[in-house]
Structure 1
């Protein structure tokens, strides 16, 4: 017996939603990837049980109109900013280029407990969905591609997984394109208080505390990318993982 999943949706307007059409997708068993075809079917709802009527081949124009209609309910709407890397309605990945930025430390485990300065930061990749807010570092100034190698984000308040401990920082309510700046501000304007990761944050004698103290005492023109810890992870791996989660 086939299990039946139950779902519900909320209308954004008054009235009722009626079953209007059905789309059947056919996939061939040859080639990689296998070719796909679609047919569009009207619905006969005159009886107690709706009936799918004979269909017609789907056209590109028809599928484009359907995609546009469905996208109105998607979470990520509007112009796609240049720093957006991936979006699927649930997850948003974006890139922050390397730059000089203000950073604040408030660390009771550190002799220099309260310090702040404008320092160089590496390029970063952020991931945000309804369950997690993560960050990794990347080398270079070019926009990342799928093959870009990821490095551990060299910051306090970040776990080994890349998950960010936001403490009492007020986070944006959504992860749409228009909120990327708010997420960046939530990260860079926070106070970095302690090391959360078990693995080394940076390649530096004395660890992360000594590394950031060195930058504060003698700020370099660029972030020392040689201190970044390489991970067995590429940008494509993050995307593949998210697509698997939503499959």
Structure 2
């Protein structure tokens, strides 16, 4: 007896690909299958049959459905999720210490520094990042501050320079977040954009102070305010 949960698949057709020596173009024959599973009625693959085969092999729709699907329970640091094909994610990270890399032209050694809590918003092509002056999970009314990094535009968009962004069409939520954080922290910071200084002090000197003292937390009182709250990103 076959369990009710199992599905039986009966052979319906078969394809045979023929290739001649020296030719890059194959010849394909289509075979029907009789009731005993034997191939019969061979004939060249028709346009209609080729279209049906192309549709069966097209995984784009399934990949789109998998985009931004969480691997398990929704991560607690995710604040907003748009799982459409061109969707986006808003998430936050708690205060942490991270190694930053700097272009030689900046004259600053690579090093690990303390960072404030951060709010991130990304889609497949671009990233925005802001800072928080709190350590707890932000709410819709929580004010956003300029993130304390080089290579940022006034509205929080990140200039990724020569970094190649390659977000997979079927990235899970966790893969998407990890990829963007990797792109950001593994890139080389080099300059202020349009003279936009995101903090109320010299950022170069601030980094040197934080790298010199591993125990020093990020001084959130020097963060510069933006007119935005979290709900503006949702």
| TM class, shorter-length | 0.5 to 0.7
* Shift in CA distance, 176/94, structure 1 to aligned 2, threshold 3 Å: farther
Normalised TM-score (structure 2): 0.64
Query: Match for residue 199 of structure 2?
Result: 202
Query: Match for residue 152 of structure 1?
Result: 146
Residue from 72, 77, 81 that aligns with 1:87: 81
Q: Which of 1 and 2 has higher RCO (CA within 8 Å, sep 6+)?
A: 2
Count of paired positions: 170
Cα drift, residue 176 of structure 1: 4.2
Cα drift, residue 152 of structure 1: 0.2
Superposed CA deviations along residues 185-233 of structure 1, whole A, max 9, x for unmatched, are 11112211111153331111xx222322332344452111111101111
Residue from 194, 208, 221 that aligns with 1:226: 221
Cα drift, residue 171 of structure 1: 2.7
Whole-Å separation in 2 of the counterparts to 1:237 and 1:114? 34
Is 2:76 the partner of 1:76?
no
Whole-Å separation in 2 of the counterparts to 1:171 and 1:153? 21
Is 2:93 the partner of 1:96?
yes
Superposed CA deviations along residues 112-150 of structure 1, whole A, max 9, x for unmatched, are x14022210111111112453111011221111111110
Where structure 2 has 5 or more consecutive residues not aligned to the other structure, the ranges are 1-53
Where structure 1 has 5 or more consecutive residues not aligned to the other structure, the ranges are 1-11, 16-69, 240-247
Is 2:219 the partner of 1:177?
no
- Residue pairs, 1:38-187, within 5 angstroms: 73=65, 75-78=67-70, 79=72, 80-89=74-83, 90-108=87-105, 110=106, 113-174=107-168, 176-179=172-175, 180-187=177-184
Normalised TM-score (structure 1): 0.61
- Residue pairs, 1:14-29, within 5 angstroms: 14=56
Cα drift, residue 107 of structure 1: 4.5
SS at structure 2 position matched to 1:115: coil
RMSD between superposed Cα atoms in Å? 2.7
Mapped contact 1:107–1:194 kept (Cα < 8 A): no
Superposed CA deviations along residues 82-119 of structure 1, whole A, max 9, x for unmatched, are 111101121111111111111122251x4xx1402221
Superposed CA deviations along residues 10-42 of structure 1, whole A, max 9, x for unmatched, are xx9639xxxxxxxxxxxxxxxxxxxxxxxxxxx
Mapped contact 1:203–1:227 kept (Cα < 8 A): yes
Query: Match for residue 191 of structure 1?
Result: 188
Whole-Å separation in 2 of the counterparts to 1:235 and 1:202? 19
SS at structure 2 position matched to 1:94: strand
Whole-Å separation in 2 of the counterparts to 1:117 and 1:194? 17
Whole-Å separation in 2 of the counterparts to 1:197 and 1:75? 35
